[in-house]
Amino acid sequence: MIVLIERKEKRRILKILRGSSHLLSLTARLSMIVAVLGVATGLFSSVYGGLAGIPSAFVDIGYGARPMGMGGAYVALADDINTILWNPAGLTRLAGREITFMYADQMGLVPYYFAAYGQSFWQNHAHGEAIIHSGDEVLSETTLLAAYGYTPEGVLGPPLDRLRLGATFKVRLSSFGDNSDGGEERSRGDGFGFGLDLGAQWRATDKLILGVLARDILNTVSYNNEARGEKYSESVPSSLVLGLSTSASERLLFALDLEKSLYADTDDIIHFGAEWILLDPLTLRVGFSQNIGPEIYRSYSLGLGVRHDFRVGMGFRFDFAYIFNEVRDTSRVSTTLIF
């Protein structure tokens, strides 16, 4: 009897030690990731430091009703077709093929359209294509995107098998001054440029995912003003976004992003969001974002999603987001076909 008790006690101690070892290993990995991200942030800031200039062309208004319903906290969570814009590493999390379309009337002034398609292939690979169009004959902007995602899951051992990588290449086109009522002296011409996003996601535990996105790490746009005979170039501001998402339960998850400023004239921005599956077809979302600077600007968002499955592997999703901000409230409407 004494021997059996001793054996049980030894087993209990071994379980505790193994659990502690696993926790220490996870803590060490997370500490290493934080250190690497800290170094990367410092390097990015030193390379891109200075003034962003904040050009008004090709402004990222936030695309996709689901991400915007969560306050833009989506870098680690990205697992649907919106991942093309938010973190291409999430493309390999697509269960099948997805097509989406989004419309936004920004500030009641400028219409924006976003359409995308994506799918997984060859088990560890995925691709996606998208188009963004905005404006009118006075100023029209179009962005074409091609994204690729890869995961070494099943190829490499832990912890690399929980890593996902992705890249999005962008071609930017613009035209301005096509309106006939502007007179002969109006500025008119066109622009052409490119951009590159690099992203990664890592599943630290079954309930915790970490993400990072280097948005427009390389980019430039060249303009040709035909009326004035001028040519010039400018860049879209780059940014580094660090994020995490965690599942409190099967129906409730939270996401947090830090959009790190790389310039002296822009602020860091915090994004927070939550998603709750109220019923199987109905999902509710709430979000919040705020800059970190001398003048505080906040925005709040509410969102909902409704999904209907026609059969296994085929369904339709409708998403809506309403964003409250200090200038003027806006909304996003998205429809997605999954097949």
Rounded to an integer, what distance in angstroms lies between the CA atom of residue 202 and that of residue 191?
37
Greater confidence (170 vs 2) lies with: 170
Q: Tell me what pLDDT residue 306 has.
A: 98
End-to-end CA distance of the chain: 61
Q: Model confidence over 297-320: pLDDT tens digits?
A: 999 999 999 999 999 889 999 999
Among the listed residues 319, 314, 306, 321, the one whose alpha carbon sits nearest the alpha carbon of residue 337: 314
Rounded to an integer, what distance in angstroms lies between the CA atom of residue 101 and that of residue 63?
10
Of the given ranges (18-27, 102-111, 266-275, 316-325), which has the lowest mean pLDDT?
18-27
Percent of the residues in the chain that have a pLDDT greater than 70, as a whole number: 81
Rounded to an integer, what distance in angstroms lies between the CA atom of residue 155 and that of residue 168?
23
> What φ, ψ does residue 74 adopt, rounded to 5°?
-145, 0
Rounded to an integer, what distance in angstroms lies between the CA atom of residue 152 and that of residue 166?
12
Rounded to an integer, what distance in angstroms lies between the CA atom of residue 8 and that of residue 11?
5
Residue 209 has pLDDT above 60, yes or no: yes
Residue 12 has pLDDT above 70, yes or no: no
Residue 232 has pLDDT above 60, yes or no: yes
Q: Model confidence over 150-202: pLDDT tens digits?
A: 999 988 888 899 999 999 999 999 998 766 665 556 678 899 999 999 999 99
Q: Is 260 left (phi over 0), alpha (psi -120 to 50) or beta?
A: beta
Name the average pLDDT for the chain. 85
Given a contact cutoff of 8 angstroms between Cβ atoms, the answer to whether 149 and 127 are in contact is yes
Rounded to an integer, what distance in angstroms lies between the CA atom of residue 175 and that of residue 128?
26
Q: Is 122 left (phi over 0), alpha (psi -120 to 50) or beta?
A: left
DSSP designation for 153: B
Residue 149 has pLDDT above 90, yes or no: yes
pTM score, whole prediction: 0.84
Rounded to an integer, what distance in angstroms lies between the CA atom of residue 260 and that of residue 268?
5
Q: Tell me what pLDDT residue 22 has.
A: 43
